Structure 1
Amino acid sequence: MTDETPASPLPSPAPARDPFSWLASGRGGAAALAVSVVALGLAAAPYLTGGDFGGRVRAYLLANPGVLDEVVQARQQAEETGRVETINRAVAANAALLAPDPRDPAFGPADAKVTVIEFFDYRCPGCKAVSPEVLALMEANPDVRFVFKEWPILDRGDTTTSNYAARAALAAHRQGRYLPVHQALMAEAALTPESIDAILAANGVDMARAAADIADTGTDRQLADIHTIGATLGLVGTPTFLINGRTTASINPQEVQAAITAAKAG
């Protein structure tokens, strides 16, 4: 099998959420805010009393550069809080979109009080980084339902590797081999159609059946439905976790566990 397998006509992918991207954006944001704060002080100087106000603002910021870091952090926190609230409102307004779907790989009691849904892409660095911790969360919370939403959003141009990996994982799911294949795909640093096929074969997947399921129109519909859910809920990247319909502010597994604990107590 190759990446020539026809892909379904899906919506344009959303950008992936790199768990380390805030480092770069924070540096750029700090520089921009520094210029803005100094400019604001200088612009306000003619309207304020007390002499060289602009000069004093500049001197204060030079002497206390940590203030700019605090401003950046406050802005990032406000943006993240707004993102979380927007998604949670969208989930509340479209609860049916997250109703149990028998097509999705899911583990844990079907009647669990708490359900964790993860939207992910096998080529997403953040997804790969937290994957072992997600499996640890499953082991630590056997009373919780974990649902895996295959959301391949990282393909660009002629690249179809994310889509192919998602299709391969769903084909493995139909043979009861989802979790070991999922773990192996997350652990593989350089995914290609060939390495994906090798992972399927190494984990006992019938390759003839898998080829048929990968190309199946039912798989097209499932992935299209997940793309629609992501767009409707305003999800902005992978991984995104939803615990009983509420998202977390970060991908930190400790925060996911805290949300699980709170949902159990609720």
Structure 2
Amino acid sequence: MTIRLPAALLALGLALPAHALDLTEMTDAERDAFRAEVRAYLMDNPEVLMEAIGVLEQRQADAQAANDTTLVQVNADDIFRDGHSWVGGNPDGDLTLVEFIDYRCGYCRKAHAEVSELIESDGNIRFIVKEFPILGPESALASRFAIATLQVAGDDAYRQVHDTLITYRGKINEASLARLAGDLGLDGDAIVARMDSAEVAQVIEENHALAQRMQITGTPTFILDDQMLRGYVPLAGMREIVTATRAE
């Protein structure tokens, strides 16, 4: 029987010869002594386990970041230049921030005001919204309505609808969306009629396919140039990441 060292010890990268880790080469007495020594050391130095776990987690994070960078590079055209997503902020900005959003996502709602503040205060960030409804029928209706608005009424109307939907607390159905459009001074009938079109469905299908390739399963997910930020990041953290990205 081969006995393996605990993963935490292996994560430390102990500089031992290969045969030293093969307990099958030891006698029973040697194995017992070795196990006792390892246990005694860990009991006397429990912080070693936390250090090992930290090393392991950092290696995993580094591997994830490297994988994410590759995913962004391979899918760059669909991320940054798909031709159907709304583009805001500074179209000529030196950085591009992409957000995959679901209007019913609590963390997307929490991030909305902070992302808006980041883009407005920075002044040099290009911002792209990817409609990515994953939280049920109301999410899908909201995204279809937003996309239809963009296609029927243009960029300014989309921003109005986007900003309204991300804070909207009522029931989402075609009637409530038509009323919302009217309140914003938009042609609700034309937008609602567009919602079931093949053109709107294609945008959502392409965004879902892109998310699958990018291994994105939740919202919000951000892409800032060649890195991915999976989940909500507070405004101060986003500013630090933007500063670090510009410094690279």
In 1, the alpha carbon distance for the partners of 2:245 and 2:126 equals 12
The reply to whether residue 162 of structure 1 matches residue 142 of structure 2 is no
Q: Is the 8 A contact 1:118 1:147 kept in 2?
A: yes
Q: Which runs of 5+ in 1 are unaligned?
A: 1-35, 38-43
Q: Is the 8 A contact 2:174 2:192 kept in 1?
A: no
Which residue does the alignment assign to 2:161? 181
Which residue does the alignment assign to 1:107? 88
In 2, the alpha carbon distance for the partners of 1:241 and 1:162 equals 19
Which residue does the alignment assign to 1:219? 200
Which residue does the alignment assign to 2:33? 49
SS at match of 2:129: strand
In 2, the alpha carbon distance for the partners of 1:216 and 1:86 equals 36
In 1, the alpha carbon distance for the partners of 2:206 and 2:173 equals 23
How many residues of Structure 1 are paired with residues of Structure 2 in the alignment? 220
Which residue does the alignment assign to 1:23? none
Change (3 A) 1:82 1:55: closer
Q: Which runs of 5+ in 2 are unaligned?
A: 1-6, 9-22, 24-28
Q: Deviations over 1:144-202 (max 9, x none)?
A: 110101011222xxxx1111111111223342322232222222346532685143333
Which residue does the alignment assign to 1:18? none
Which residue does the alignment assign to 2:237? 255
Asked which structure has the greater CA Rg, the reply is 2
In 2, the alpha carbon distance for the partners of 1:78 and 1:243 equals 22
Which residue does the alignment assign to 1:11? none
Which residue does the alignment assign to 1:134? 115
In 2, the alpha carbon distance for the partners of 1:245 and 1:139 equals 22
Paired AA for residue 166 in structure 1:
S
Paired AA for residue 31 in structure 2:
Y
In 2, the alpha carbon distance for the partners of 1:228 and 1:166 equals 16
Change (3 A) 1:265 1:50: closer
Change (3 A) 1:109 1:244: same
Which residue does the alignment assign to 2:16? none
Q: Deviations over 1:189-244 (max 9, x none)?
A: 46532685143333223210111221121011111111111112222321111112
Q: Tell me the C-alpha RMSD between the 2 structures.
A: 3.3
Change (3 A) 1:123 1:81: farther
Q: Deviations over 1:47-78 (max 9, x none)?
A: 353895587478558xx6x8776666665554
Which residue, 172, 175, 180 being the options, matches 2:149?
172
TM-score in terms of structure 2 length: 0.72
Map 1:220-239 to 2 at 5 A.
Answer: 220-239=201-220
Change (3 A) 1:118 1:58: same
Paired AA for residue 168 in structure 1:
F
Change (3 A) 1:248 1:260: same
Q: Is the 8 A contact 1:119 1:238 kept in 2?
A: yes
Q: Is the 8 A contact 1:248 1:256 kept in 2?
A: no
Map 1:1-266 to 2 at 5 A.
Answer: 47=31, 49=33, 56=40, 76-155=57-136, 160-173=137-150, 174-175=152-153, 176-189=156-169, 191-193=171-173, 197=177, 198-248=179-229, 251-253=232-234, 254-266=236-248
Q: Is the 8 A contact 2:80 2:128 kept in 1?
A: no
Change (3 A) 1:58 1:265: closer
Paired AA for residue 258 in structure 1:
E
